[in-house]
A and B are shown apart, each in its own frame.
Chain A
Amino acid sequence: GEEVAQTPKHLVRGEGQKAKLYCAPIKGHSYVFWYQQVLKNEFKFLISFQNENVFDETGMPKERFSAKCLPNSPCSLEIQATKLEDSAVYFCASSQSGGVNQPQHFGDGTRLSIL
């Protein structure tokens, strides 16, 4: 499609439950990025993919967070055993190719609320 599509828009989970978020990048884009926005203006990079391959995972919490981008499927971000501090808006972005001259285009995010 012409836009990055993220589902669901809102997700509510009890503490300790699993949460799974999905992202369909713009058609033809080979790079996918995940960001977490906890407070209104603060973004944290989590992970990036080049097609199905992890490109940069330096921002991923090692223990409970995992992500995948499989062929012919939306990318996913999964959080096991959620904690209250995981409450945030999670944004996915895609770009056409590698290279710093290619802008990233963002979806509208998934708002995750942990109760």
Chain B
Amino acid sequence: DAKTTQPPSMDCAEGRAANLPCNHSTISGNEYVYWYRQIHSQGPQYIIHGLKNNETNEMASLIITEDRKSSTLILPHATLRDTAVYYCIVRVRHQGGSEKLVFGKGTKLTVNP
């Protein structure tokens, strides 16, 4: 079962920052937070991940609260092409192998002109 809770939908104006929240109140100390998005019917696209520190890359920033029970994905200047379903996933650290991803229902972000 997915260990995250996200709002089903959000809207954002083009050019503004999009802040997508995610609750993961049962997260354990060895579990990472991952963000993916799915545009139309394409394959999920990896965005960013983190353990406890804030992270930034060319696509987005990830802010994780100090207690790690929630996080926010920030798209600093949203464009129409950022319209997609965004998935927040908690991933267990597993020694010796790679864990599957457990997707929830995600947040449908619509960027409006």
- Enumerate chain A interface residues (CB-CB to B < 8 A): 4, 31, 33, 35, 40-43, 45, 48, 50, 55-56, 59, 89, 91, 93, 95, 97-109, 111
Which single residue of chain B is at the shortest CB-CB distance from A45? Answer: B100
Interface residues on B, range: 20 to 34
Q: B interface, by DSSP: helix, strand, loop or mixed?
A: loop
A98 and B91 alpha carbons, distance in the complex (Å): 13
In the assembled complex, how far is the CB of residue A70 from the closest CB belonging to chain B, in whole angstroms? 19
CB pair B98 A48 closer than 8 Å:
yes
CB pair B49 A103 closer than 8 Å:
yes
- Enumerate chain B interface residues (CB-CB to A < 8 A): 31-32, 34, 41-46, 49, 85, 91-94, 96-103, 105-106
CB pair A4 B43 closer than 8 Å:
yes
CB pair A100 B91 closer than 8 Å:
yes
